[in-house]
Amino acid sequence: MESKVKSYRSILLINGIIALIFGLFAVFATETTLLTVAKYFGLVLMIGGGIGIFGGTQNRKTNKNYMVTFITAIISVIAGLFILVFTQKSFEIFVIIIGIWALVLALSQLWITIKYAGNRQHKKVLLLNGILTLVFGVILLLNPFQSMVTLFALVGVIAIIFGVVLIYVSNVLHPVKENN
């Protein structure tokens, strides 16, 4: 039991340190860290696509269905290449999609609130949620890359808090003594 607790403490400590380091990078080197993470994601897409192309080719040789795998793999390679070459534009496109989604969601919420909420007590909450979602969507659309940088910094703050909590828990975790 004591060795398991030591193992858990080590895992918590390591994860806490990793979360803390990531959080610090995300807060203090937000743009650079965000672009680096995106480039790694693009690289992973390209490698996965390359493996998929190889798998599709192998399936073709054995007369198995290969077209879906092959087409998906090619799309992955193209998307990965696009992310690697046009990293900031990729983020802007991603954030614009989220912004459009938020606007559609907000307008739907507002329409449902006005049309169906009537005089119910939750109407103010629904209305507030629709307005906040609308504002969120507009902010994302007005400056997509900076919005993403700000959101990433917020994720960094959360990671720092999470890392500190994990480090603290790893230091206070002790084995429970069993009474026989």
Write the pLDDT tens digit of every residue in 30-61: 788 878 888 998 999 999 999 989 888 888 88
Write the pLDDT tens digit of every residue in 77-122: 999 999 999 988 888 888 899 899 999 999 998 888 888 766 677 7
Between the alpha carbon of residue 44 and those of residues 39, 54, 89, the distances in Å are 9, 15, 18
DSSP states of 113-152 as a string? HHHH-TT-TTHHHHHHHHHHHHHHHHHHHHSHHHHHHHHH
Q: Would you say residue 177 lies in a domain?
A: no
Tell me the whole-structure pTM to 2 decimals.
Answer: 0.62
Instruction: Please write down the HEC assignment for all residues of 76-106.
Output: HHHHHHHHHHCHHHHHHHHHHHHHHHHHHHH
Residue 26: which domain range?
2-172
Higher pLDDT, 180 or 126: 126
Domain total in the chain: 1
Percent of the chain whose pLDDT exceeds 70: 93
Q: Would you say residue 141 lies in a domain?
A: yes
Any idea which residue has 């954030």 for tokens?
Answer: 95
Q: Would you say residue 106 lies in a domain?
A: yes
The total number of residues written for the chain in this structure: 180
Mean pLDDT of 174-178: 62
